[in-house]
Amino acid sequence: MPSIVSITNMSVQEVQNYFGGTSKQESESAGTGIIISQNDSELLVVTNNHVVAGSDTLTVTFADGNSVEANIKGTDSEYDVAVVAVPLDSISEDTKKAISVATLGDSTELKVGEPAIAIGNALGYGQSVTTGVISALNRSVSETDQTTGETTESSVKLIQTDAAINPGNSGGALLNMNGEVIGINSAKLASTEVEGMGYAIAISDVTDTLENLMNEAAINA
């Protein structure tokens, strides 16, 4: 749990009013992130791309309740992952002692039926924990674009679990019994019409992508 953070996305959107004009409206959404690395100047957090999309301001809240502003390091919409950077000099010494970098597991070793734990910022209320089992592996899920109506299959194979994954859990960790991250939860792929079918992006499928995103600033420098 010290490796899990809550992410608040503040964005400004243009909305049409009754008189045909437009006005700017601020909206807030909540998600989750996993601390996966630290370099000399930044703490690096992985989350879903849809958690940070369109953000004007990102705020990361750590397990001890302290919040700091963060920046997007890199995103990959195809795999729905993003890396967020938190400057180390904005994190207090007390918070640094209260948090830790997560240990990544090997999702290729998973077996159907083994236990799983999901941690995330469910409904924006703060950290919560749910448990279940690995229900299926290598699932492919169809997504429908609400604007165009076009249906596409997910680019990455997914872990299916019956651990509850709710709005706000997106970007959080799916763990094995050793406390290792085996998946990145995605509430976007869940349905309100069914129960016991949550999905997570298999961590081993996106390890290389995350490595590239973490180094993106260095590549562009």
Q: Which helix (H) or strand (E) holds 219?
A: helix 216-220
- For residues 155 and 116, what is the distance between their CA atoms, to the nearest angstrom? 23
Let me know if 142 is a catalytic residue: no
Point out the catalytic residue in the list 6, 50, 55, 154.
50
Point out the catalytic residue in the list 29, 154, 170, 186.
170
Point out the catalytic residue in the list 29, 55, 80, 107.
80
Nearest CA among 26, 22, 25 for reference residue 9: 26
How far, in Å, are 74, 133, 150, 175, 192 from residue 52 at the CA level?
10, 28, 23, 22, 22
Q: Which amino acid is at 162?
A: D
Let me know if 170 is a catalytic residue: yes
Let me know if 40 is a catalytic residue: no
- For residues 171 and 7, what is the distance between their CA atoms, to the nearest angstrom? 9
Catalytic site residues? Answer: 50, 80, 170
